[in-house]
Chain A
Amino acid sequence: MTEKTTDKRSSAFEYAPAPESRSIVDIAPSYGLFIDGEFTEAAEGRVFKSVSPSTEEVLSEVAQAGEADVDRAVRAARKAFEKWSALPGSERAKYLFRIARIIQERSRELAVLETLDNGKPIRETRDADLPLVAAHFFYYAGWADKLEHAGFGANPRPLGVAGQVIPWNFPLLMLAWKIAPALATGNTVVLKPAETTPLSALFFADICRQAGLPKGVVNILPGYGDAGAALVAHPDVDKVAFTGSTAVGKEIARTVAGTRKKLTLELGGKGANIVFDDAPVDQAVEGIVNGIFFNQGQVCCAGSRLLVQESIHEELLDSLKRRLSTLRLGDPLDKNTDIGAINSEEQLSRITSLVEQGEAEGAERWSPACELPSNGYWFAPTLFTNVTQAHTIARDEIFGPVLSVLTFRTPDEAVAKANNTPYGLSAGIWTEKGSRILAVASKLRAGVIWSNTFNKFDPTSPFGGYKESGFGREGGRHGLEAYLDV
């Protein structure tokens, strides 16, 4: 009888490369600023390059906005405001629904684009960023004709022109968080994307045209910090919304102090992920990984401090290390990649120096065996043990794939340590005991508290910080308030 026996296979189950096709996205060699419904060159003719952080390949050359461009864009937005704000909410909703649908239709293209420009894995842009972007527009489209029922009075009025400055970690999602509520409430927008990730915002400009959005309602100004500063300081801007670092946030708060401008700031964080000894351990490990390695840890609400009850410390760390060893780092366009590239050389050097400081201060560094690509900006998933509250890596926001592990003995100590930070954006609680979740959550000073999960987002849920993590809420009904004259 001929047969091949089930011979013992020596090779492991190696996944062959499974790259998402780049051909779905057509990136032009150059882009202009998007002002008053047209792409135009910058007044001073300056341009900058947008680089793919995983390969250092130049993706496109983009016009760089300056003060004169900011002024032009704000004037266009002001002009458009009159008609846009006078539209019935149901009409504004139609545009927003249309934009949401176009985003869904073009989601694969946008996911590839975002992965190329940002460096994050396609798995995340495909399964997290893009679905959330569309959901955010759908959600606020639904509010546009129901504002009088939102709890802000009979006929809540928009503020006017919103100047919005967004970061590079979730370029299109942060754009959605800013633009969707602004438009739903009848404001017009001038938005500056981050200098390392301008492309998806420019594609969004194209989507606005595709949706027939009236000229000047959305204006996109790629550029650097100077353009952001000019936008924030512009006298005809009524509302400033910023997501980014606490240092820049403080500067913005000083700039707008004493003006009529309404301000929301969504800044840094040093989230505590608290694991009690009665936690669902396997899911807690997943939650820890998702909390700090999602988007290479470049997440303001990352669970960058793991507070683990001392009685399960060793067991949990063993599980965590085993799990980290299965993370797949590499080509962000590969559908099986878990960890992509760090967004920029600058960010990489910041992470590197903080990690070096962690080692110098005596914390113990560990990373799984992990080969880093030779081009691009990469940092291996890293965890630190023997960390105390006094260590820099337990206090400063690293904004990278670096987890600091601390221990606690009692729930009170966990709460005290979790709150012992100038920040207050996020926290996580892991326990099978429902009463403990409620008791601990009510004592944590953080804007978002997850229980038995982490980094879960939904447009219906307000997001924002305590203390140096900022003020104001984005998302949900609360998110409307920031764009209404109430």
Chain B
Amino acid sequence: MPTTAPSPLGDVTASDSTLRRFLHGLPGVDAVGLEARAASLGTRSIKTTAKAYAIDLAISMVDLTTLEGADTPGKVRALGAKAVLPDPTDRTAPATAAVCVYPDMVATAKEAVAGSSVKVASVATAFPAGRAPLSVKLADVKEAVAAGADEIDMVIDRGAFLAGRYMKVYEEIVAVKEACGSARLKVIFETGELSTYDNIRRASWLGMLAGADFIKTSTGKVGVNATPANTLLMLEAVRDFRAQTGVQVGVKPAGGIRTSKDAIKFLVLVNETVGADWLDNHWFRFGASSLLNDLLMQRQKLATGRYSGPDYVTVD
């Protein structure tokens, strides 16, 4: 069996039992303390120049997302155009990091962002439930990559994880990573289904051990998605993973982040937990759709001193 665990962690992925021992040996998470820390960082007051910096940074970190059964090529093209040029009235606004679509829309998305810095990310592996045979999941990934996806957002098998079959989850991530080729792999844990913070910490390490380029909170399709607390916990995990292995992994909170105020709170979490090394869209992303327009409205407000309103940003 292939193991890609970086050497300082030795053979923790050698067998089901070593993996279980390692994951259950990670320090526990005190829920009250974690949430209190996240809330306390949420009281940072980000004003004027700092706010302008944070808004542009947040825009540049958005994975502009449409994941609906009703997605059409027209909708995806509109999204691509928006990602490349978020504010047609102010070309100094940065492009978003990526557009995020279903695999069958990758080719359309790729065309829409051609020639720009905007990446195309595709959810795959039977998103969002992940309830499909591995062969189907891998085919899903390969199709998306073949169509030009730069990044793959996979979901883990939460059923296997909750049943304690960590090796199955690990092997699946390793296989998907291999199928990705040069595409960067984001591993979605669906934290709302993992339910406990201890589980989220274990899943984070499991994903990173298996070669995730990014760890991502949620699909956006369940009740609880990204929260300041679960994102803080995942930031602690990537911080500690880099300290132990030298490997830097990105973090992507997704779902439920709708306002600039919320996005800035997440950036404060990044800044005060992992620092400047992660304040870049190569290492931190927001999975969001409506967030972008609020960021643009706040950006216009800072530039002009007036609130513009929803008719001054584009509806896509």
Name the distance in Å between A38's Cβ and chain B's nearest Cβ: 40
Asked if B34 contacts A283 (CB within 8 A), the reply is yes
Q: A13-B271, A286-B37 are in contact. Are A5 and B94 (CB under 8 A)?
A: yes
Asked if B28 contacts A3 (CB within 8 A), the reply is no
Q: Which of A16, A278, A279, A282 has the most B CB atoms < 10 Å from its CB?
A: A282
Residues of B contacting A5 with CB < 8 Å? 94-95, 116-117
Chain A 1-30, CB within 8 Å of chain B: the 1/0 string? Answer: 111111111011111111000000000000
A4, A9, A17, A336: the one contacting B92 at CB < 8 Å is: A4
A18, A123, A278, A286: the one contacting B28 at CB < 8 Å is: A278
Asked if B37 contacts A283 (CB within 8 A), the reply is yes
Q: A3-B91, A432-B28 are in contact. Are A16 and B33 (CB under 8 A)?
A: no
Q: A13-B50, A13-B271 are in contact. Are A3 and B27 (CB under 8 A)?
A: no
Q: Bound complex: CA of A5 vs CA of B97, how far in Å? A: 9
Which of B5-13, B39-47, B146-154 lies at the interface? Answer: B39-47
Q: Bound complex: CA of A81 vs CA of B272, how far in Å? A: 54
Asked if A14 contacts B29 (CB within 8 A), the reply is no
Asked if B49 contacts A282 (CB within 8 A), the reply is no
Asked if A336 contacts B33 (CB within 8 A), the reply is no
Asked if A123 contacts B43 (CB within 8 A), the reply is yes
Asked if B50 contacts A15 (CB within 8 A), the reply is yes
Asked if A6 contacts B94 (CB within 8 A), the reply is yes
**A346 sits at the interface (CB 8 A):** no
**A287 sits at the interface (CB 8 A):** yes
Which of B66-74, B202-210, B212-220, B274-282 lies at the interface? Answer: B274-282
**A335 sits at the interface (CB 8 A):** yes
Q: Bound complex: CA of A286 vs CA of B29, how far in Å? A: 12
Asked if B29 contacts A336 (CB within 8 A), the reply is no
Q: A3-B95, A13-B267 are in contact. Are A282 and B34 (CB under 8 A)?
A: yes
Q: Bound complex: CA of A15 vs CA of B94, how far in Å? A: 21
Residues of A contacting B267 with CB < 8 Å? 13
Residues of B contacting A280 with CB < 8 Å? 27-30, 33
Name the distance in Å between B32's Cβ and chain A's nearest Cβ: 7
Chain B 124-162, CB within 8 Å of chain A: the 1/0 string? Answer: 000000000000000000000000000000000000000
Q: Bound complex: CA of A287 vs CA of B280, how far in Å? A: 30
Residues of A contacting B117 with CB < 8 Å? 3, 5-6
**A189 sits at the interface (CB 8 A):** no
**B295 sits at the interface (CB 8 A):** no
Residues of B contacting A13 with CB < 8 Å? 50, 53-54, 57, 267-268, 271, 276, 279
Name the distance in Å between A432's Cβ and chain B's nearest Cβ: 4
In the complex, residue of chain A having the shortest beta-carbon distance to the beta carbon of B59: A6
**B257 sits at the interface (CB 8 A):** no
Chain B 243-287, CB within 8 Å of chain A: the 1/0 string? Answer: 000000000000000000000000110011001100111000000
**B165 sits at the interface (CB 8 A):** no
Chain A interface category by residue count? 20 to 34
Residues of B contacting A17 with CB < 8 Å? 47
Q: Bound complex: CA of A473 vs CA of B60, how far in Å? A: 55
Q: Bound complex: CA of A3 vs CA of B88, how far in Å? A: 10
A4, A9, A326, A453: the one contacting B279 at CB < 8 Å is: A9
In the complex, residue of chain B having the shortest beta-carbon distance to the beta carbon of A6: B60
Residues of A contacting B46 with CB < 8 Å? 15-16, 18
**B77 sits at the interface (CB 8 A):** no
**A388 sits at the interface (CB 8 A):** no
**A232 sits at the interface (CB 8 A):** no
Asked if B279 contacts A282 (CB within 8 A), the reply is no
Q: With contacts defined as CB atoms under 8 Å apart, how many contacts are there between chain A and chain B in the complex? A: 108
Asked if A15 contacts B280 (CB within 8 A), the reply is no
**B48 sits at the interface (CB 8 A):** yes
Name the distance in Å between B22's Cβ and chain A's nearest Cβ: 15
Asked if A11 contacts B30 (CB within 8 A), the reply is no
**A452 sits at the interface (CB 8 A):** yes
**B2 sits at the interface (CB 8 A):** no
In the complex, residue of chain A having the shortest beta-carbon distance to the beta carbon of B115: A1
Q: Bound complex: CA of A336 vs CA of B45, how far in Å? A: 6
Q: Bound complex: CA of A127 vs CA of B42, how far in Å? A: 12
Residues of B contacting A6 with CB < 8 Å? 60, 94-95, 97, 117, 281
Name the distance in Å between A282's Cβ and chain B's nearest Cβ: 5
Residues of A contacting B85 with CB < 8 Å? 1-3
Asked if A8 contacts B280 (CB within 8 A), the reply is yes
Q: Bound complex: CA of A15 vs CA of B53, how far in Å? A: 10
**B221 sits at the interface (CB 8 A):** no
**B193 sits at the interface (CB 8 A):** no
**A237 sits at the interface (CB 8 A):** no
Asked if B43 contacts A335 (CB within 8 A), the reply is yes
Residues of B contacting A7 with CB < 8 Å? 94
Residues of B contacting A444 with CB < 8 Å? none
Residues of A contacting B95 with CB < 8 Å? 3-6
Mark out the residues of chain B between 68 and 88 whose CB falls within 8 Å of any chain A CB in the assembled complex.
84-85
Q: A3-B85, A282-B236, A336-B44 are in contact. Are A16 and B50 (CB under 8 A)?
A: yes
Asked if A12 contacts B30 (CB within 8 A), the reply is no
Residues of A contacting B44 with CB < 8 Å? 15, 335-336
B47, B236, B272: the one contacting A18 at CB < 8 Å is: B47
Q: Bound complex: CA of A279 vs CA of B91, how far in Å? A: 50
Residues of A contacting B14 with CB < 8 Å? none
Residues of A contacting B45 with CB < 8 Å? 15, 18, 335-336
Q: Which of A4, A8, A127 has the most B CB atoms < 10 Å from its CB?
A: A4
**A231 sits at the interface (CB 8 A):** no
Asked if A12 contacts B276 (CB within 8 A), the reply is yes
Name the distance in Å between A289's Cβ and chain B's nearest Cβ: 10
Q: Bound complex: CA of A452 vs CA of B116, how far in Å? A: 50
B43, B51, B92: the one contacting A16 at CB < 8 Å is: B51
**A112 sits at the interface (CB 8 A):** no
Residues of A contacting B115 with CB < 8 Å? 1
Q: Bound complex: CA of A85 vs CA of B21, how far in Å? A: 65
Please list 10 pairs of residues, one from A and one from B, whose beta carbons are closer than 8 Å in the complex, sorted by A's number: A1-B116, A2-B85, A3-B85, A6-B97, A6-B281, A7-B94, A14-B49, A282-B27, A432-B27, A452-B32
A residues near B (Cβ < 8 Å) are 1-9, 11-18, 123, 127, 278-283, 286-287, 326, 335-336, 432, 452-453
